[in-house]
Structure 1
């Protein structure tokens, strides 16, 4: 028992003759494939958000940066003063070294080394504390940005939002919308 498709194909073959059989088969298969294609075929809506711009240009990010800088200003100034003191002491030592006794030279070299070690330790602690504090502040901004991105995606029917890509077309970049949602 032949299927409806096979019956129609044999009828077309008889009508067209044997020479055009391959052509007819290709045409029928092509029409069948087109009929089987989904009717709802639509493009995927993709957006892009630059996390770097969000963490640099948004109002909450600028406010957090100013807050952190104010919070660490005193320690930064202390580090600058300590570095200046070390530089001045080293210059003074270089100037005085030819006339110093051996024991005095060793004593001052040890003091300079201790001061340098202290400076390096304080810089390292400062940087660790600064980074930790910055990460605390910026993690809340990232959470707010993620919420804004999800809201925009739902409102505008995005299928996919990508953050941080190598290259992006400006037509899919929605970073400005997210900045606006974050207040600027």
Structure 2
């Protein structure tokens, strides 16, 4: 009896292994057809929405950037003048000018930090708008192609699985 149970168990195991062996390639193909990858940085850099964002940000921040650069140049020129004239100045005058320069430099650094924070915040806001639209496009592509999973930034991507250019094209066609 034990021998017969062992044979039945072996037959069931063999059938299970064969079935699993036949299913594995089918499942792998099914999964392979249902996974896609998108390079979000490429979308954020190359889509028309991204280019429009870059233009908006440039228009919004160029004036402040130029003002900061001009202020830095004025401080540098004043420091060079102080270095040249320090030998013929009184101690009190030299110390007063050094303090003025230090105050101006601190103020410039504060304005530069604010500029950077404002630029980062606006960039984040603009990228969020692009991401929202890109997510809608990704969902449409997934539904059309019956994709189950779309992954961002994979370590390796087969060209068959990369849908980045399709996402950019779809974003560029949005009105």
TM-score if structure 2 supplies the norm length?
Answer: 0.85
What RMSD in Å do the two structures reach over aligned CA positions?
Answer: 2.8
Deviations 1:19-62 (A, max 9, x none): xx97x974563135545876974521210011110111110011
Please tell me whether residue 69 in structure 1 is matched to residue 58 in structure 2. Answer: yes
Q: How many residues align?
A: 168
Which consecutive residues of structure 2, in runs of 5 or more, have no partner in the other structure? none
* Structure 1 unmatched runs, 5+: 11-20
Tell me the residue number matched to 1:155: 144
Q: SS in structure 2 opposite 1:170?
A: coil
Q: Which residue of the partner structure matches residue 161 of structure 2?
A: 172
**Aligned: 1:43 with 2:30:** yes
CA distance in 2, matches of 1:154, 1:34: 34
TM-score between both structures, scaled by the size of structure 1:
0.81
Of Structure 1 and Structure 2, which has the larger fraction of its residues in helix? 2
Q: Which of 106, 120, 143 is matched with 1:117 structurally?
A: 106
Rg (Cα) greater in structure: 1
Distance 1:32 1:49, change over 3 A: closer
Q: For residues 33 and 166 of structure 1, what CA distance do their matches in structure 2 show?
A: 32
CA distance in 2, matches of 1:112, 1:32: 82
Query: Paired residue for 2:125?
Result: 136
With over 3 angstroms needed to count, the CA separation of the structure-2 counterparts of 1:35 and 1:117, relative to structure 1, is closer
CA deviations 1:62-91 (Å, max 9, x no partner) are 101101110111111110110100110111
CA distance in 2, matches of 1:25, 1:117: 82
Measured against aligned partners, the alpha-carbon deviations of 1:105-145 in whole angstroms (never above 9, x if no partner) come to: 00110011011001100000111111111111111100000
Residues 173 and 35 (structure 1 numbering): CA distance in 2 closer, same or farther, change over 3 Å? closer
> Is the aligned partner of 1:56 residue 2:45?
yes
Relative distance call for 1:35 and 1:102 in structure 2 (3 A) is closer
Structure 1 stretch displaced more, 125-134 or 30-39? 30-39
